[in-house]
Chains A and B, each alone.
Chain A
């Protein structure tokens, strides 16, 4: 059973960079076949896909956030990370990581982390 766990600061100051890490257990990122996504959910609102990474380091980002997002992977630690720069209060949200399929008509997120709330405030 694949499990994902987000970690990182719960409070970030405006204009700074939000940094989160997702640790994967029960499966290896480097085995391939899956992408690894970040998704966020503003308080009381819907879901927004931020981007994903493949074990090779290939990334794809939501165009609406692309200029501020960097996703990286550390296969030796079975982790992948999110950096979101120049944050504002509008980036306050619960951030989730998820295992993702992409291609051949199969686009879904089948395993999710528990989520971590990040608040942007001075």
Chain B
């Protein structure tokens, strides 16, 4: 079955850029989206169709997808961005989520 692999953790200083990767076989041939999940809360969609932002999501969130890797970039990271992030794609008629990355803002 299809798998999406993310680094378990990413640390970033406030105001700096955080990059979170999501790796899967030929992921660039599919569309990826990204969710943010804060402790005790539901996931929130932050990026869809590789690079589109839903209404209300700050411009500091951006995405790209090519080859085997999709990337979520948080520019000018703020303390409020500390959360778990999950990528997601569609493969073989099912939604597949990545393993998740904990972003810590130090």
Interface residues of A in 29-64 (CB under 8 A from B): 37, 39, 46-49, 60, 62-64
B interface majority secondary structure = strand
Instruction: Evaluate whether A105 and B45 lie within 8 angstroms (CB atoms) in the complex, with A46-B86, A46-B100, A60-B93 already known.
Output: no
Interface flag for A114 (CB, 8 Å): yes
One of B49, B89, B94, B97 near A47 (C-beta < 8 A): B97
A49 touches B95 (CB 8 A): yes
One of A63, A96, A100, A107 near B31 (C-beta < 8 A): A107
A-B contact count (CB 8 A): 59
What's the minimum C-beta distance from A54 to chain B, rounded to whole angstroms?
Answer: 14
B94 touches A112 (CB 8 A): no
Contact with B along A92-119 (1 / 0, CB 8 A): 0000100010100111111011110000
Interface residues of A in 53-98 (CB under 8 A from B): 60, 62-64, 96
Interface flag for B76 (CB, 8 Å): no
**Distance in angstroms between the alpha carbons of A49 and B43 in the assembled complex:** 13
Interface residues of B in 37-84 (CB under 8 A from A): 41-45, 48-49, 54
**Distance in angstroms between the alpha carbons of A37 and B42 in the assembled complex:** 14
Number of interface residues of B (CB under 8 A): 24
Q: Which residues on the B side are within 8 Å of A112 (C-beta)? A: 42-44
What's the minimum C-beta distance from B56 to chain A, rounded to whole angstroms?
Answer: 10
A96 touches B42 (CB 8 A): yes
B31 touches A106 (CB 8 A): yes
Please, which residue of chain B has its CB at the minimum distance from the CB of A96?
A: B42
